[in-house]
Amino acid sequence: MRDVAVVGAGMIDFGELFEQSFDDMAERAYLNALDDVDKEISSDDIDAAWFGTLDIAENASSGLGLSHPTGLFEMPVTRVENACATGSTAFRSAVEAVRAGSADVALVLGAEKMRDSAGGLIEGASLEQVWRGRGVTMPAFFGLRATRHMEAYGTTREQVAEVSVKNHENGAKYPHAHYRFTCSVEDVVDSPQVTYPLNLYDCCPVTDGAAATVIVSEDVVDEYTDDPVWVAGSGLATDTFQRGKDESLAGFPATRQAAEQAYEEAGITADDVDVAEVHDCFTITELVTYEDLGFCETGEGGAFVESGTPHLDGEKPVNPSGGLLAKGHPIGATGVAQVNEIYEQLRGEAGAVQVENDPEYGLQHNIGIGRDATGSVSCINVLSKHRP
Amino acid sequence: MYEPPFTRDRDANERLAARECDACGWVSFPEFRDICKRCESVGEWTDTELEERGTVQSYVVQQRLPDEFETPLPLAIMDVPQTSGGDPARVYGLFTETDPEHIDIGMKAEADFRRVFDVDGLPVHSFKFKRPRGDRL
Ligand SMILES: [Zn+2]
Could you give the CA distance from residue A308 to residue A170 in angstroms, rounded to a whole number? 13
Q: What is the pTM of this model?
A: 0.95
Given this model, what pLDDT does residue B4 score? 67
Does position B132 have pLDDT exceeding 90, yes or no? no
pLDDT score at B5: 63
The per-residue pLDDT for B64 is 82
For the beta carbon of residue A176, count every other beta carbon within 10 angstroms: 20
Q: What is the Å distance from ligand 1's center to A245 Cα?
A: 13
Q: Ligand 1 centre from B42 Cα, in Å?
A: 8
The whole-number pLDDT of residue A143 equals 96
Would the CB atoms of B58 and A126 count as touching at under 8 Å? no
Mean of all residue pLDDT scores within chain A? 94
Cβ of residue B4 closer than 8 Å to a chain A Cβ: no
Indicate whether B39 pLDDT > 90: yes
pLDDT of residue A127: 53
* Spatial distance between the Cα atoms of A138 and A195, rounded to a whole number of angstroms: 9
Task: Say if residue A104's pLDDT is above 50.
Answer: yes
Supply the pLDDT for residue A131.
47
pLDDT in tens, A325-362: 999 999 999 999 999 999 999 999 999 999 999 999 99
pLDDT attached to residue A132: 46
Output the pLDDT for position A369.
85
B75: chain A residues, CB-CB within 8 Å: 135-136, 140, 144
pLDDT range class, residue A278, cuts 50, 70, 90 = very high
Of A237 and A126, the one with more pLDDT: A237
- What SS3 state is found at A122? helix
- Judged by average pLDDT, the poorest of A96-100, A315-319, B39-43 is B39-43
A262-271, A354-363, B34-43: which range is least confident on average?
B34-43
- State the pLDDT confidence band at A318, using cuts at 50, 70 and 90: very high
- Of B13 and A301, the one with more pLDDT: A301
* A38 vs A226: CA distance, rounded Å: 8
- pLDDT for A217 beyond 70: yes
- Looking at the complex, report in whole angstroms how far the Cα of residue B85 sits from the nearest Cα belonging to chain A: 16
Tell me whether B101 touches chain A (CB under 8 Å): no
Q: What is the pLDDT of residues B88-113, one digit of tens each?
A: 999 888 898 899 999 999 999 999 88
Interface test with B, best of A122, A129, A130, A132 (most B CBs within 10 A): A130
Query: What's the average model confidence in pLDDT over A26-54?
Result: 97
From residue B131, give the alpha-carbon distance in Å to each of A2, A149, B14, B41, B99.
60, 23, 20, 37, 9
Q: Mean pLDDT, to the nearest integer, of A302-315? A: 98
A243 Cα: distance to centroid of ligand 1 (angstroms): 10
- Higher-pLDDT residue of A342, B116: A342
* A66, A51 Cβ separation under 8 angstroms: yes
Cα separation, A347 vs A230, in Å, equals: 11
Q: How many CA atoms lie within 13 A of A117 on its CB side?
A: 18
* pLDDT at position A172 over 90: yes
| % of chain A exceeding 70 in pLDDT | 94
Is residue A120 over pLDDT 60? no
Q: Are B9 and A131 within 8 A, CB to CB?
A: yes
HSE-CB at A94 with a 13 A cutoff on CA atoms is 38
Q: Are the beta carbons of B117 and B55 closer than 8 angstroms? A: no
pLDDT band at B136 (very low <50, low <70, confident <90, very high): low
Scanning every residue of chain B, which has its alpha carbon at the shortest distance from the alpha carbon of A241?
Answer: B90
Band the pLDDT of A302: cuts 50, 70, 90: very high
The answer to whether the beta carbons of residues B38 and B26 sit under 8 Å apart is: yes
In which band, very low, low, confident or very high, does the pLDDT at A124 lie, cut at 50, 70 and 90? low
DSSP output for A240-258: EGGG--THHHHS-HHHHHH
ipTM: 0.91
Packed helices A138-153 and A157-171: angle between N→C axes, nearest 10 degrees: 130
Predicted pLDDT at A116: 83
Q: For residue A145, which residues of chain B lie inside 8 Å, CB to CB?
A: 58
Q: How far is the CA of B26 from the centre of ligand 1 (A)?
A: 5
Q: According to the model, what pLDDT value does residue A263 have?
A: 98
Q: Rounded to an integer, what distance in angstroms lies between the CA atom of residue A130 and that of residue A38? A: 53
- Checking if the pLDDT of A244 tops 90, the result is no
Listed in order, strand segments (DSSP E) in chain A are 4-11, 48-52, 77-80, 105-112, 193-196, 198-199, 209-217, 229-240, 275-277, 361-370, 375-384
Mean pLDDT value of segment A80-106: 97
- Band of pLDDT at residue B1, cut at 50, 70 and 90: very low
C-alpha A244/C-alpha A234 separation (Å) is 27
Of the partner residues A126, A147, A198, the one whose CB lies closest to the CB of residue B59? A147
At B55-99, the pLDDT tens digits run 999 999 999 877 767 789 999 999 999 999 999 999 888 898 899
pLDDT reading at A141 higher than 70:
yes
DSSP secondary structure letters along A36-93: HSSS---GGG--EEEEE---TTSS-SSTHHHHHHH---SS-EEEE-BTBTHHHHHHHH
Query: In the prediction, which pLDDT does A35 show?
Result: 98
User: Inter-chain contact B75–A147, Cβ cutoff 8 Å?
Assistant: no
In 3D space, the residue among A379, A372, A367, A339 whose CA is nearest the CA of residue A5 turns out to be A339
Q: Do A137 and B65 touch (CB under 8 A)?
A: yes
Find chain A residues with C-beta within 8 A of B77's C-beta. Answer: 144, 148, 241, 249
Per-residue pLDDT for A245 more than 80?
A: yes
Window from A43-52, A65-74, A180-189, B123-132 with minimum mean pLDDT? B123-132
Q: What is the pLDDT of residues B6-36, one digit of tens each?
A: 667 676 667 788 999 999 999 998 888 899 9
Residues of A serving a catalytic function are: 84, 329
pLDDT of residue A322: 98
What is the pLDDT, as a whole number, of residue A60?
Answer: 78
Long-range Cβ pairs for the range A181-186 (8 Å, 24+): A185/A158, A185/A161
Average pLDDT for residues B44-59, to the nearest whole number? 94
